[in-house]
Amino acid sequence: MLKLKAARTLPARASALGWRMLDPRSCWSLRVDLVAAAGPMSAADLPLAIDVCRAATRGDWSALWLGPDEQLLVGLDSAHAQLAPRLAAALDGVAHSIVDVSHRQAAIELSGPGATRLLAMGCPLDFDLRSAPVGFCTRTVYAKAEVVLWRQDTQRFQLQAWRSFLPYVTGLLALGSQELTAGI
């Protein structure tokens, strides 16, 4: 029987304007009642984002609020193997679903003075700090590709994109970088 393993290689592209591929991340989709999970997650020293469209970080892990019962847990790839048993122990007795989506996604960082403009070239959201403060996160689109957007600082964003969309997303970022650099 032929066995295939998903490749976790990243495109070699980057930009002087301030976007780059990040090292692989560990990503888990958690579906759980946030009220029921708040105490156990806190006791296990794991993050849970309670506020709508906001991220919470605790230790090596961040939780991004994507829906009333949906979180995207993001951490370092080196911490990947430890999360499932920690979550299973913490949420014992609480109805939940946890799915490893690490091989599905890749992370791109946009940073620097042109990051907001570059992001706005393909994303329909308002990036004013009053509308999208630091810690803001949401599922949205970059052009036609679905992404998860997380504002980590005033001029630093992380995009989580499906690997199958990476050539498209990074190609648009490269084109947008060229246009912004040229003053178009």
pLDDT at 7: 47
Rounded mean pLDDT, 43-54: 96
Q: Is the pLDDT of residue 56 over 50?
A: yes
Could you say which of 3.40.470.10, 3.40.50.150, 3.30.1360.120, 3.50.50.60 is the CATH number of the domain covering 19-182?
A: 3.30.1360.120
The single-letter code of the amino acid at 97 is S
Mean pLDDT of 26-33: 96
pLDDT bin (cut points 50, 70, 90) of residue 130 is very high
| pLDDT value, residue 123 | 96
Q: What CA–CA distance (Å, rounded) separates 85 from 174?
A: 40
d(CA 170, CA 12): 10
Residue with the bigger pLDDT between 16 and 113: it is 113
The pLDDT score that the predictor gives to residue 34 is: 96
pLDDT band at 84 (very low <50, low <70, confident <90, very high): confident
Q: How much is the pLDDT for 184?
A: 62
Rounded to the nearest integer, the mean pLDDT of the chain is 90
Tokens for 67? 């829906």
DSSP state at residue 19: E
User: DSSP per residue over 23-45, as a string?
Assistant: PPEEEEEEEE-HHHHHHHHHHTT
Q: Which long-range contacts (CB under 8 A, 24 or more apart) does 77-84 make?
A: 77/23, 77/24, 77/25, 77/26, 77/102, 79/26, 80/26, 83/26, 83/28, 84/28
Q: Do 55 and 64 contact (CB within 8 A), yes or no?
A: yes
Q: Tokens representing 146? A: 């679905």
Least confident range from 17-26, 54-63, 148-157: namely 17-26
Overall average pLDDT of the 157-163 stretch: 96
